[in-house]
Structure 1
Amino acid sequence: MAAQPGGVEGLRVCTVLQDCLDQLAVLGHIMPVTYEGRPDADMIVSADVGQVLQEQQAVEMRFKEVMSSRWRDGAGLAQVTGELQKSQLQLSQVLKNSPLTPENLSKVQRDRQFASQVISEVLAELQEAGTIQSLLLAVQAQKERKANLHDIIVREEEGRHRVRALQRQLVDIRQEKELELQRREEMIAHLKDQLQEMKAKTGLEGKYVKNSAELQLYQGNKINTHSENELQASIQHVQDKIDKETRVHIEVESFLKENQNRLEEKLEMWMERYERDTEAKQQELNLLKSTKANNLTHLQELAKKYRECEQLVIEDRVEKETARRLREQEATESSAAVKIQSWWRGTLVRRGLGPFKKGKKGKAKGKEKGKKKKKK
C-alpha cells in the first residue's frame, strides 16, 4: 500500500493535478467540433495540439517526480504512471493521424472528458482522504475494458472465419443440390418412360383380367348351382334328424317323468325315516345329557373328597415334619449339652477345681514339674 501524502507535498500533488485539469480544459476549448471545414483548421489544430501535448508530457514528468518522491512503494506508482503515459501517447497518435475527422474529434473529446473526470476524482480523493485509490480503480477499469474489446475483436474475427467457412459450405451445398436436381430430372424422364410402358402393359392385363373374370363368373355359377343342390339334400337330411330327435325327446321326457314320480315317492319314504331316526337320536341325546349331568355331579363330589383327603395328607406331613425337626433339635441340644459337660469336666480336672482339687504338695510338685517343662 502507498503512503498518504501530507502537508506541502500533498499540496504540490494537488497543484499538479489541478494544472492537468486546466490543460485538459484548454484542450477542450481549442479542439471543438466546429473547426471541421475551416481552411485554417489544420494549422490551428496542429499548433495548439502540439503545444498541449508538450505541456501534458511536462505535467506527466512533474507528476511522476512528485509522486515518486512521496511514496516508498514505487512499483504500483510506476505502473500507474506508465498506464497514464500510454493513454496519453495513444491520444497523441490519434490526434496526429487525422485530427479533423468526426470520429477522431469525438474520440478525443471522450478521452479528454474521461481523463478530466479521473483527475478530478483523484484530486478530490487526495484533498479528502490523501489516497489515489480512484486512479488505480480507473486504470483497472480501462484494462478490463480493453480486454473486453480485445475479446470482442477476437470473437468478431472468429465469426468472420466461420461466415467464410459457411459461405464455402453453402457453395458446395448448392453444387451438390444442382447435381442432385439434374439426377432427379433424369430419374423423372426415366420414370415417365416406365409409366408409358406400364400403361400399355396395364391395358393388356386389363383385357386379360376381364376375360378371366367372365370365365371365373361362369365357373362360379356352375359351382354355386351344384353347392345349392348339395345344401338342399343336407337340409332334408337335417330335417329328418330333427324329426327323429323330436320323437326321442318325447320318449325321454315320459321316461324322466316316470322316474321323477318314483323318486318323489322314495323321497317321502326317506323323509319319514329321517324324522323317526331324528326323534330317536334326540331321545338318546337327552339321555346322554342327563347321564353327563349325573356323572358331573358325582365327579364334583369325588373332587371334593379328593381335596379333603389331600388336605389331611398335607396336614399329616406337616405334623410329621414338625415332629422330625423337634427330634433333631432335641438330639442336637442333647449332644451340645454332653459336649459342654465333657468340656467343663475336663476343665475342672485340668485346673483341679471342685471335687478334683488337690493338696499343697500336689501343687508344689505340679509347680516343679511345670518349671522343669519350661527348662526343657
Structure 2
Amino acid sequence: MEFLLFALVLEVALLQFKILEGTTELRRKRKPVSKSEKAQLDKLTRDRSLIKDVIRRTLIETAETGEWLSLQKTVEALQEKSSLTTTLRLRHTQLKSTLQDTSAECLRNRNQRAQDLQNADKKIAFLRDKMKDDLQNAKARLCYAEKWILARAESQDMQFQNQLQRSPMPRTDFEQRVHDELVKAYQLQTKERETSHEYWKVRYVKDTADINCRLMAKCEQLRVTIARREELQKLYDLHEGEMRAWLTFKKERAARLAREKRVRDAATRIQAWWRGVMVRCGLGQFRSLRTLKKSAKGKKK
C-alpha cells in the first residue's frame, strides 16, 4: 500500500511538472524576457528535467524491485553539491576579503611612498635654499672683509700721513660748540622716543579695551545663539513624534490614494471591456443593435 501511495505521489509530481512547463512556455511566448531571466528559466528547465528523470527512474525501480535507490542517490548528490557550493561561497568570501585587505595595504603603502617622496623633495629644496644662502653669506662676508682690509689700509695710510704732517690742535670753543650741538641732538631724539612711547602705550590700552569689548559682544552673541539652538532643539524633540506621525500619515494616504486609483482604473477598464462586449454581441440594453444588424443584412441581400 505504501509503494502504491509513493508511486501515486510521484505521478502527481510528474503531472505538476508538465503543467508548470506549459505555463512557463506560455509566459515566455507572451512576454519577452531579459538575459538574466532567460538564464534563470534555462536553469529551472534543466532542474525540472533532472527531477523528472529521477522520478521516472524511481517509478521504474519501485515497480521492478520495490526500492528507490535512484532517488536516494540523487538526494545525496544534491546534498554534496549544496555543501560544495557553500564551501566555494565561503572560499570566495575569504578570497574577496583577502583581496580587499591586500588592496588596502597596497594603497596605504603607495600613499606612504608618495608622502616620503614628497618629504624628500621638500628636504632637497630646503637644502638647496640653504646652500644658496650659505654661499651668498660667504660672498657677503668675503666682500666685507676685503672692504675692511682696504679701509684699514687707507686709515693706516692717513695716520702715517698725519704723523708726517701734524696739524694744529682744534680750539676749545669749537669743541664746546660741537659738544652742545650733539647734546641737543641727543635730547631731541630722546624726547621723540618718549613721545612715541607714550603714544603707543595709550594706543595699546585703547586697542586692548576695544578688543575686550568686541570679545564680550561676541561671547554674548554666542551665548544667545547657543540658548536659541537649545530652545529649537527642545522644540524639535517635543514635536518629533508629531512630525513622524504626519510623515507616516502622508505615506499611508499616498499609498491608499494610489491603491484606490488602481482599483478605479481597473474597474473602468473592466466596465469598458464589458460594455464593448455587450455592444458587439447585442446583450442587455443593446439588443436593438442586433435587430438592426439583421435588418441591414436582409436589405443587402
TM-score with structure 2 setting the length: 0.37
TM-score with structure 1 setting the length: 0.30
The higher relative CO (CA closer than 8 Å, separation ≥ 6) is in 1
